């Protein structure tokens, strides 16, 4: 039998009945013979909104007034009341379904309508060169941006390159231009009928020397090395006008044959080694070259992991968690639940080896996706989605006596559309509203919270918000991270007057979470941007096939049958945010065949919830560049699973938080876990 939650329950409104006003009985559904769309095929331009609706009709063709659910793929299509909007280029489907009651015994009638989202027309092409001057025997690269009328750009345009005189300067298919002989030549980039050109006066390369500085004799994999190449003419004058090309090579050591990428170098001469062995960096200027070889040794950061405690769960799906020290000095963890009756659970983890679930609060929601607590431990907050009255909002919990949490306030002002994520400060709470904006709430009095202001980025959907140093970092899918001054003051912002600072879109277009981190060892500020992509379409491992039949159904705890893991993809994209007005992507952490979720960075360690990939601890010390996964920066990995889990023997880590020497994390399928990284042992002589 399904177990009952703990007795300390705060029921705020009635839970959903079996048959709701938003569904029909089997008898009413039988009147409907077909669903009729306003268009059999939808073609829109990216960002365009067009009228669209679906009508249920009976055998005579008359309209039947029944509830319909019309949806499209998240992040690609927005479906509204009487319209659809294209959010991403591609081919998709709009699915309309007749909503029937759960016990009607009727298979819901559905309809699929193809939708094509096309790119806007390109109106301008901009070409920029990596260097100003072109000499005989030197090569410089070029970047192209194909712009639409609204200022957005086409990703990865297939540009056609052409030289007006290949005997003077030739260009390859990637925009690399090489000087052949002295003279004049124009280089033209063309895309979608629009062109742009740059002209060059190619000069003979003067007599110069080339020196290469900055190379050590030995480094660890993952360490960033900064080389400096200097060109001087016969008089000893430095010639910054002569372009330099960079390359690298690798000599395998024992056991390192057949490796993939061995390292990465950028146009400024910064290099990072991915694998142990002998690496060589070469700088080239015309016919001259200079090289430096060095040895990269293994990073050697792996630590053993100890399982400390487990708050096992098998009848609901655990969502986010938050660890805190209570006002009484004891330690606690709060967890949420997904599609499980609106429960949040409270654990005493003062002894992490024996977490005790001592209380629960039930709210009017299908899902408590997010839980947070203020740094001072004064209050906690529970998000709400799927309320019976459709007024979602959030629930503020008085934690003055953390052993007896109690509901202080149900807050809904400005956030009735549904709260997916929040960030709690002592005096202010930042709460999402229906994925559209975040609302700032004054929490000075938790029994009388007060609406302060809000920020809504235009034409964007938001998933998460995190606040540090007076800046709010809002993760907004295809828009990337949006940074807003909510009290930093440098841009004139405050909680009462949020001011936009910048935004940085990521190549994946799936920015789901952001964690800002100041690195004391480098003086740099990094943003860790996490994807969330809940499918593996188009990849060799696309997921479990539908042909698995009953095994693709939800796990049934009564019989122990069914349930398979979800499949995800995506990775962490790392932005150098030291200059907030000039952010720059420098690194990534990408584990093949798994997808990221929430993360935490503390003391130069990334604690990453990687869904099916488990909880992963990664060394992020020093300067970051390249793919941390291939550099041996992983410290420890643990894939939690329980044979009696919600989905048995299946890892699905949702979130992780380091706390007082332990790492607490939640697994959707198996509950709350506590692990500990053990110190590196001394070698045995």
pLDDT digits (tens, 9 = 90+) for 176-194: 999 999 999 999 999 999 9
* Length of the chain counted residue by residue: 685
pLDDT digits (tens, 9 = 90+) for 256-298: 666 777 999 999 999 999 999 999 999 999 999 999 999 999 9
- Quote the tokens at residue 157: 């345009």
Question: What CATH number does domain 305-677 carry, 1.20.1440.230, 3.40.50.150, 3.40.50.720, 2.130.10.10?
Answer: 2.130.10.10
3-state secondary structure 516-530: EEEECCCCEEEEEEE
Residues pairing with 373 in the sheet: 380
Mean local confidence (pLDDT), 611-635: 97
Q: Measured between alpha carbons, how far is 663 from 673 in angstroms, rounded to an integer?
A: 8
Q: Measured between alpha carbons, how far is 585 from 570 in angstroms, rounded to an integer?
A: 16
Give the Cβ contact number of residue 104 at 10 Å.
18
Q: Where are the domains of the chain?
A: 26-118, 122-202, 211-297, 305-677
Q: Which of 67, 69, 114, 74 is nearest to 94 (CA)?
A: 114
Does position 15 have pLDDT exceeding 50, yes or no?
A: no
Q: Measured between alpha carbons, how far is 169 from 180 in angstroms, rounded to an integer?
A: 5
Does position 308 have pLDDT exceeding 60, yes or no?
A: yes
pLDDT digits (tens, 9 = 90+) for 118-134: 999 999 999 999 899 99
Torsion of CA 331, 526, 585, 677, to 10 degrees: -50
Residue carrying structure tokens 């994946």: 508
**Ranges 151-155, 284-288, 561-565: which has the least confidence:** 561-565
Mean local confidence (pLDDT), 512-536: 95
Q: How confident is the model at residue 18 (pLDDT cuts 50, 70, 90)?
A: very low
Which one is predicted more confidently, 452 or 314?
Answer: 452
pLDDT confidence of residue 638: 98
Q: How confident is the model at residue 151 (pLDDT cuts 50, 70, 90)?
A: confident
Answer yes or no: are the C-beta atoms of 580 and 604 closer than 8 Å: no
Question: What is the overall mean pLDDT for the chain?
Answer: 90
DSSP H or E segment with residue 162: strand 160-163
Q: Measured between alpha carbons, how far is 606 from 621 in angstroms, rounded to an integer?
A: 10
Q: How confident is the model at residue 23 (pLDDT cuts 50, 70, 90)?
A: low
- Quote the tokens at residue 417: 């559309």
Q: How confident is the model at residue 574 (pLDDT cuts 50, 70, 90)?
A: very high
pLDDT confidence of residue 32: 86
Q: Phi/psi of residue 366, each to 5°?
A: -75, -35
Domains 26-118 and 305-677 share a fold: no
The proportion of the chain whose per-residue pLDDT surpasses 70, expressed as a percent, equals 91
Q: Measured between alpha carbons, how far is 156 from 175 in angstroms, rounded to an integer?
A: 13
Q: Measured between alpha carbons, how far is 175 from 166 in angstroms, rounded to an integer?
A: 13
Residue carrying structure tokens 């309320």: 387
DSSP H or E segment with residue 607: strand 605-609
- Quote the tokens at residue 203: 């000069």
pLDDT digits (tens, 9 = 90+) for 469-498: 999 999 999 899 999 999 999 999 999 999
How far does Cα 562 stand from its chain's mean position? Answer: 30
Torsion of CA 282, 285, 290, 294, to 10 degrees: -20
Which one is predicted more confidently, 7 or 22?
Answer: 22
Mean local confidence (pLDDT), 599-603: 98
Q: Which CATH superfamily is domain 26-118 in?
A: Immunoglobulins (2.60.40.10)
Does position 112 have pLDDT exceeding 80, yes or no?
A: yes
Does position 628 have pLDDT exceeding 80, yes or no?
A: yes
Is 211-297 assigned to CATH 2.40.30.10? no
Mean local confidence (pLDDT), 432-437: 93
- Say which residues have a Cβ less than 8 Å from residue 128's Cβ, sequence separation at least 6: 142, 143, 145
Q: Is 440 left (phi over 0), alpha (psi -120 to 50) or beta?
A: beta
Which one is predicted more confidently, 670 or 544?
Answer: 670
Q: Measured between alpha carbons, how far is 266 from 175 in angstroms, rounded to an integer?
A: 17
Q: How confident is the model at residue 551 (pLDDT cuts 50, 70, 90)?
A: very low
List the Cα angle 59/64/70 in 5-degree steps.
Answer: 110
pLDDT digits (tens, 9 = 90+) for 25-69: 666 777 889 999 999 999 999 989 999 999 999 999 999 988 899
pTM, entire model: 0.86
Burial class (CB in 10 A: 0-12, 13-18, 19+), 194: middle
pLDDT confidence of residue 160: 96
How far does Cα 452 stand from its chain's mean position? Answer: 28
pLDDT digits (tens, 9 = 90+) for 640-649: 989 888 888 8
Is 122-202 assigned to CATH 2.60.40.1080? yes
How far does Cα 427 stand from its chain's mean position? Answer: 28
Which one is predicted more confidently, 556 or 394?
Answer: 394
Answer yes or no: are the C-beta atoms of 288 and 137 closer than 8 Å: no
Q: Measured between alpha carbons, how far is 32 from 39 in angstroms, rounded to an integer?
A: 19
DSSP string, 424-492: E-SSEEEEEETTTEEEEEE-SSTTS-EEEEEE--TT----EEEEETTEEEEE-BTT-EEEEESS--TTS
């Amino acid at each position: 039998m399904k177990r009952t939650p703990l007795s300390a329950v705060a029921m705020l409104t009635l839970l959903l009945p079996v048959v709701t006003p938003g569904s029909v009985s089997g008898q009413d559904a039988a009147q409907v013979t077909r669903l009729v769309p306003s268009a059999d095929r939808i073609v829109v331009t990216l960002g365009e909104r067009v009228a669209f609706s679906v009508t249920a009709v009976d055998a005579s063709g008359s309209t039947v007034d029944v509830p319909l659910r019309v949806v499209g793929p998240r992040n690609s299509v927005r479906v509204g009341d009487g319209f659809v909007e294209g959010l991403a280029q591609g081919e998709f489907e709009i699915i309309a379904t007749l909503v029937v009651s759960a016990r009607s015994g009727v298979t819901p009638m559905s309809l699929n309508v193809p939708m094509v989202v096309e790119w806007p027309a390109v109106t301008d092409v901009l070409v920029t060169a990596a260097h100003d001057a072109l000499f005989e025997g030197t090569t410089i690269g070029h970047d192209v941006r194909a712009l639409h009328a609204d200022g957005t750009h086409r990703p990865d345009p297939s540009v056609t390159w052409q030289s007006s005189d290949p005997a003077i300067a030739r260009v390859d298919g990637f925009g690399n231009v090489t000087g052949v002989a002295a003279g004049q030549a124009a280089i033209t980039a063309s895309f979608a009928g629009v062109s742009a050109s740059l002209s060059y006066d190619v000069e003979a390369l003067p007599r110069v020397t080339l020196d290469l500085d900055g190379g050590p004799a030995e480094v660890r994999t993952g360490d960033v090395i900064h080389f400096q190449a200097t060109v001087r003419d016969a008089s000893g004058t430095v010639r910054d006008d002569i372009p330099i090309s960079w390359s690298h090579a690798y000599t395998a050591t024992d056991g390192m044959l057949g490796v993939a990428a061995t390292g990465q170098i950028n146009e400024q001469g910064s290099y990072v080694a991915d694998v142990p062995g002998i690496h060589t960096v070469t700088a080239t200027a015309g016919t001259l070259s200079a090289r430096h070889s060095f040895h990269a040794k293994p990073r050697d950061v792996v630590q053993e992991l100890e399982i400390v405690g487990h708050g096992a769960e098998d009848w609901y799906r655990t969502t986010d968690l938050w660890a805190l020290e209570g006002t009484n000095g004891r330690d606690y963890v709060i967890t949420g639940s997904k599609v499980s009756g609106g429960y949040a659970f409270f654990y005493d983890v003062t002894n992490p080896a024996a977490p005790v679930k001592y209380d629960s609060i039930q709210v009017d929601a299908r899902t408590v996706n997010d839980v947070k607590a203020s740094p001072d431990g004064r209050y906690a907050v529970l998000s709400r989605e799927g309320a019976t009255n459709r007024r979602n909002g959030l629930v503020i919990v008085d934690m003055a006596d953390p052993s007896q949490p109690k509901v202080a306030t149900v807050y809904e002002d400005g956030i009735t559309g549904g709260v997916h994520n929040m960030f709690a400060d002592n005096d202010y709470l930042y709460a999402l509203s229906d994925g559209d904006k975040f609302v700032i709430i004054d929490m000075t009095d938790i029994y009388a919270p007060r609406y302060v202001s809000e920020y809504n980025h235009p034409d964007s959907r938001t998933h998460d918000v995190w606040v540090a140093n007076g800046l709010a970092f809002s993760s907004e899918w295809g828009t990337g991270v949006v940074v807003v001054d909510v009290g930093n003051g440098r841009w004139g912002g405050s909680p009462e007057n949020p001011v936009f600072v910048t935004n940085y879109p990521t190549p994946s277009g799936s920015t789901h979470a952001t964690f800002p981190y100041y690195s004391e060892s480098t003086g740099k500020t990094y943003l860790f941007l996490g994807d969330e992509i809940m499918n593996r379409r188009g990849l060799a491992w696309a997921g479990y096939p539908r042909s698995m039949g009953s095994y693709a159904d939800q796990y049934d705890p009564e019989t122990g049958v069914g349930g398979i893991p979800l499949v995800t993809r995506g990775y962490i994209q790392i932005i150098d945010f030291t200059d907030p007005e000039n952010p720059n992507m420098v690194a990534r952490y990408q584990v093949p065949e798994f997808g990221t979720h929430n993360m935490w960075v503390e003391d130069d360690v990334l604690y990453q919830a990687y869904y099916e990939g488990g909880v992963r601890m990664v060394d992020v010390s020093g300067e970051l560049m390249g793919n941390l996964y291939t550099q041996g920066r992983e410290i420890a990995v643990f894939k939690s699973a329980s044979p009696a889990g919600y989905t048995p023997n299946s890892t699905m880590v949702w979130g992780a938080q380091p706390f007082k020497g332990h790492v607490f994390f939640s697994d959707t399928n198996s509950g709350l876990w506590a692990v500990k990284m053990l110190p590196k042992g001394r070698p045995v002589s």
